[in-house]
Amino acid sequence: MAAGLLRDSNFRWVVLSVYILSGIASQLVWITYAPILTASAKFYQVPEADIGLFAAVFPLVYLIISILVGYYIDKYGFRKALITGMLFLGVFSFLRSITPLFIIALAFQTIAGIGQPFVMNSISKLVRSWFPESETALATGLGTLSLMLGILITLSLTPFIVYHIGIKYMLFSYGIYSLFALAMVFIFIKEPKAKVEEERAGISLKEMMAVLKNKNILILSALFFLGVGIYTAFTTWIEPLIRATGLPLKEAGMVGGLLTLGGIFGSIIIPGIADRVGSRKKPMIIALVIASVSWSTLYLIHGTVAVSTGLFVVGFLFLSLAPLALDLSVVSVGINYSGAANSVLWEFSQIGSLILIWIFEIVGQTKGWPAVYLIISALTVLMFLLGFLIKEQPTPRTL
């Protein structure tokens, strides 16, 4: 019964599509202010540095509650987790839009941040509950794609909306979208009955510790620490890093966006290939080899077309590793502990992001920004070596 329900029902694509709406909302609320720092500072009448707190509170909240959220997901299921997450994101992003006071808006933003780990950490539990083994990498890729798509939409759409209708109505629009995503989650996100009956026991503290000690989870956590950390740090310092390639400052945002755009395509294609060949590890290692070479050559190439192409290729290969790693984490510990496994990986990704942002800044200012590309390449080689240590069970091939 469970197999038929999971593999034959087209409703699984509806569930995944609604998850994508919620994933976009989590990013939309998180980095709303990033592309409009100057305008936001004027609106709230505070220094630009204070506006940065709107984005900074999300990873800080994530670090504090991510592991607890994983326990919640494994105990109560992905439906309740997604409803909880979208309640925080939807309600408090809307409340954020109706106050002109900075400190109150920041408080609402901080509370909204509680919702993000509930959304991001739920993807593997959702996919493994609804999709057959031969589709899990692709489905996870489509789910994590929503996170990159959310960033791309926010960075490109926010300045346009603010320019035409102002910050107040932009914030209101994002609050309404988040509430819409909440409604869609409440209506369409379901858990297969067979899975609900099988998994309600939850996870004990002893089992949580076993997940944390699992060798594959430790390796995948290191890969998330480095991989997500590199991406976040690169996008944080994108202006000086793009300038190091010889391109003018005005092209940094457009060219840098191709890194994320490449990741969006890669998150569809490479997990699909992984499903087809019945392996997550092999595509991951091949992608890391090519990505390490691509990172090291980025600052050697010149011209908008060459740098844009290089960043697209890097994004295509590098960012597509996230869904493969998330799916491997579930295979390593079992679906009953998928929430805990995903939470550990995302927890390490936040720590890696904070540390590598700091390291990139120090290296860029002391050794020059081209040296950062060599640091990234070396770290990618380390990821490649760690990838060999992963133990993988073969999965069914897609016909």
pLDDT of residue 249: 60
151 with 228: CB under 8 angstroms? no
Each residue's pLDDT tens digit, 112-164: 999 999 999 999 899 988 998 888 888 998 998 898 899 888 888 888 899 89
pLDDT of residue 386: 92
Predicted structure pTM score = 0.83
Residue 201 to residue 335: CA distance in whole angstroms: 12
Which of 205, 204, 207, 202 is closest to 76 using CA atoms?
Answer: 202
pLDDT of residue 86: 98
Specify the DSSP class assigned to residue 114.
T
Which domains does the chain carry? 1-188 (1.20.1250.20), 201-399 (1.20.1250.20)
Higher pLDDT, 78 or 211: 78
Higher pLDDT, 148 or 248: 148
Confidence of residue 88 (pLDDT cuts 50, 70, 90): very high
- The encoded tokens of residue 262 equal 């490449």
* Residue carrying the six token digits 């899990």: 136
pLDDT of residue 253: 62
Distances (CA, A) of 325 to 191, 194, 322, 342, 355: 23, 26, 5, 9, 21
Residue 1 CB burial class (10 angstroms; 0-12, 13-18, ≥19): exposed
Which of 245, 248, 253 is closest to 368 using CA atoms?
Answer: 245
pLDDT of residue 293: 82
Question: Residues 6 or more apart from 139 whose CB is under 8 A from it?
Answer: 12, 16, 127, 130, 131
**Long-range Cβ contact pairs of 286-292 (< 8 A, separation 24 or more):** 287/317, 287/318, 287/320, 287/321, 288/317, 288/321, 288/380, 288/383, 288/384, 288/387, 289/384, 290/317, 291/317, 291/318, 291/380, 292/377, 292/380, 292/381, 292/383, 292/384
